[in-house]
Amino acid sequence: MTTQNKTKSFAERLVRHFQKHGFPDVSEAVVLHVRTSGNLEYETVSAEFIHAESQGVAIPLARHFEFRFIECFSESRTEQEIREKFQADFEPNLRRQFPELFFEKKNYLFDENASGTKYDVAIRIGRKGPDNVAKIVLLNDPGASFGEFFDRQMKTLDEWSEICGGLQAAVGKLGLLQI
């Protein structure tokens, strides 16, 4: 378990928020500052990801994106354990879809096959900034309740806007957007 100073960290408050609002299995969150490596376009990155997948080689995530850990929280692991296992826990299915999240083609991703300590939900908070930086949260939800919720609820853009607005309001109330 990790907290910043003697107050709850952003990641812990986010986990607790989702637990309180009907997602009891959300147990871990990693908050990332993600920047593109250069002036990249979605089409270029997506095409390279598709090509890598078709060739059966690793998705070139690190070639196009720089990840900086902002913070993390887990009910069962230390920050050091999370950092050591991060590459293995960042599911290939989420990696494959990452350009869609970063370049704002999708607002969230989830991998229904993730299990154990694997991250199965990725959410972009807000919009990508002019400096090509996005705030991304990875969540571990072993019971898949979060993914099932999105499956049921994400039928129209209006529904997503309402939920995203609620998330941003909750994040804003917690004073979390200044990470």
- 3-class DSSP string for 38-82: CCCCHHHHHHHHHHHHHHCCCCCHHHHEEEEEEEEEECCCCHHHH
Q: What is the pLDDT of residues 103-120, one digit of tens each?
A: 988 877 777 677 778 888
Q: What is the pLDDT of residues 85-106, one digit of tens each?
A: 998 888 888 888 899 999 988 8
- Length of the chain as a residue count: 179
Cα distances (angstroms) measured from residue 65 to each of 16, 51, 76, 98, 155: 29, 17, 28, 10, 30
Q: What is the pLDDT of residues 140-167, one digit of tens each?
A: 877 666 656 655 555 544 555 555 555 5
> What whole-number distance in Å separates Cα of residue 9 and Cα of residue 47?
37
- Residue 2: per-residue pLDDT: 44
- Residue 159: per-residue pLDDT: 52
- Residue 167: per-residue pLDDT: 58
- Residue 169: per-residue pLDDT: 57
- Residue 22: per-residue pLDDT: 76
> What whole-number distance in Å separates Cα of residue 64 and Cα of residue 99?
9
42: how many CB neighbours lie within 10 A of its CB?
13
Kindly report the CA angle at 158 between 96 and 162, in degrees rounded to 5?
A: 90
> What whole-number distance in Å separates Cα of residue 18 and Cα of residue 108?
15
More confident residue, 50 or 24: 50
Q: Is the pLDDT of residue 5 over 50?
A: no
- Residue 38: per-residue pLDDT: 75
Cβ 62 vs Cβ 86: under 8 Å? no
* Tokens at 120, concatenated: 């199965």
Kindly report whether the global pTM for this prediction surpasses the value 0.85: no
